[in-house]
């Protein structure tokens, strides 16, 4: 049952990530949702196999660092360009 819930969370996060690709903030939120579903899956696996939860703490630490890096890029982009649209800050245009 928990495996189904975690898989559903992961797939819904991927759908939101692919459908909201214009705004960086919505992309970051969906990435954090995907990371949360993966953490839930790792936690269930470690619980079922009676392993230690040390790896889950390392995973949480790395996901927090990833979230902080994404938010700092978002703040830098809003300060320089005024919005969070992906197409406005692309150097290809």
Which pTM was predicted? 0.82
The enclosing domain of 7 has a CATH number of: 1.10.287.3510
pLDDT, tens only, 63-75: 999 999 988 988 8
pLDDT-derived band at 90 (thresholds 50, 70, 90) equals low
Does 35 fall in a domain?
Answer: yes
Are 22 and 85 a contacting pair, CB within 8 Å?
Answer: yes
Enter the tokens of residue 22. 């214009």
Does 25 fall in a domain?
Answer: yes
Q: Is 6 exposed, middle or buried (0-12, 13-18, 19+ CB in 10 A)?
A: buried
Q: How many domains does the chain have?
A: 1
Pairwise CA distance, residues 18 & 47, whole Å: 31
| pLDDT at site 93 | 52
Q: Which domain holds residue 43?
A: 2-81
| pLDDT at site 85 | 74
CA dist list (Å): 67 to 25, 35, 60, 82, 91: 11, 10, 10, 21, 24
pLDDT, tens only, 9-58: 999 999 999 998 788 888 889 999 999 999 999 999 999 898 888 888 99
Does 41 fall in a domain?
Answer: yes
């Amino acid at each position: 049952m928990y495996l189904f819930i975690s898989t559903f969370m992961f797939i819904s996060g991927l759908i939101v990530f692919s459908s909201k690709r214009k705004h960086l903030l919505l992309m970051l939120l969906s990435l954090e949702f995907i990371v949360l579903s993966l953490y839930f899956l790792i936690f269930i696996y470690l619980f079922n196999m009676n392993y230690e939860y040390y790896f889950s703490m390392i995973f949480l630490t790395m996901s927090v660092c990833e979230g902080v890096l994404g938010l700092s890029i978002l703040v830098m982009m809003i300060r320089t360009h005024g919005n969070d649209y992906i197409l406005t800050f692309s150097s290809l245009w």
